[in-house]
Amino acid sequence: MPTKNKKATKINTEDLYKISNKLKQTVIDMLLESGTGHTAGSLGTAEIFSALYFEILNIDPKKPNKKDRDRFLLSNGHICPIWYATLSERGFFPKTELWKLRKINSKLQGHPKINTLPGIENSSGSLGQGLSQAIGIALAAKMDGLSYRVYCMTGDGELNEGQIWEAAMFAPNKKLNNITWIIDRNNIQSDGNTEDIMPLENLKDKLESFNWYVIEIDGHNIEEIISACKMAKSITQRPTVIIAHTIPGEGVDFMENKYQWHGRVPTKKEAVEAKEKLNSII
Between CA 141 and CA 145 the distance in angstroms is: 6
**pLDDT tens per residue across all 282 residues of the chain:** 333 333 444 679 999 999 999 999 999 999 999 999 999 999 999 999 999 999 999 999 999 999 999 999 999 999 999 999 999 999 999 999 999 999 999 999 999 999 999 999 999 988 999 999 999 999 999 999 999 999 999 999 999 999 999 999 999 999 999 999 999 999 999 999 999 999 999 999 999 999 999 999 999 999 999 999 999 999 999 999 999 999 999 999 999 999 999 999 999 999 999 999 999 987
Beta-carbon count within 10 A of 191 CB: 12
Contact 61, 3 (CB under 8 A): yes
Given 3.30.70.270, 3.40.50.970, 3.90.1150.10, 3.40.50.1950, which CATH number is that of 13-279?
Answer: 3.40.50.970
Between the CA atoms of 185, 250, 132 and 60, what dihedral angle is there, to the nearest 10 degrees?
-140
pTM equals 0.95
The vertex-107 CA angle with 105 and 109, nearest 5°, equals: 85
What end-to-end distance do the CA atoms of the chain give, in Å? 18
Q: Is the dihedral of CA 115, 93, 55, 124 positive or negative?
A: negative
Q: Where are the domains of the chain?
A: 13-279
